[in-house]
Structure 1
């Protein structure tokens, strides 16, 4: 049974790792990352809901005057 020749494994694995590193670096370089995020201060304004614009009163049976 012949022995497995492993003399070229080191250079093969090393070149594969180097190639993968270069490919990933090129992939990452294609993305545009935003600069440091800035804080936007939104004006504090009270928003009225549609049901707050109209005056309504709910008459419950228990709130009616007793007879």
Structure 2
């Protein structure tokens, strides 16, 4: 049974990781970021939910007066 030749694995793995690193760096360098990093004002508009518009009350049987 032939032996598995692993002598080139180190070079292959090293070149692969180096290539991936370079590709990721090139992809990241294409991104543009805003120069002005001030926070924007976010207007939070409050609105009533449908169940807040109606007045409803649910009575539990234990809170009712005894009959």
- TM class, shorter-length: 0.5 to 0.7
Partner of 1:64: none
Q: Distance in 2 between matches of 1:32 and 1:5?
A: 45
TM-fit CA distance, 1:36: 4.6
Partner of 2:22: 22
TM-fit CA distance, 1:39: 4.0
Q: Considering only aligned residues, what root-mean-square deviation do their CA atoms show, in Å?
A: 2.0
Gaps of 5+ in 2: 42-67
Note the alpha carbon deviations across 1:15-58, whole angstroms, 9 max, x for none. Answer: 000000000000000000112511457xxxxxxxxxxxxxxxxx
Gaps of 5+ in 1: 42-67
Q: Distance in 1 between matches of 2:18 and 2:11?
A: 10
Does the C-alpha gap of structure 1 residues 5 and 38 become closer, same or farther in structure 2, counting only changes over 3 Å? Answer: same
**Number of residue pairs matched?**
42
For normalisation by structure 1, the TM-score amounts to 0.55
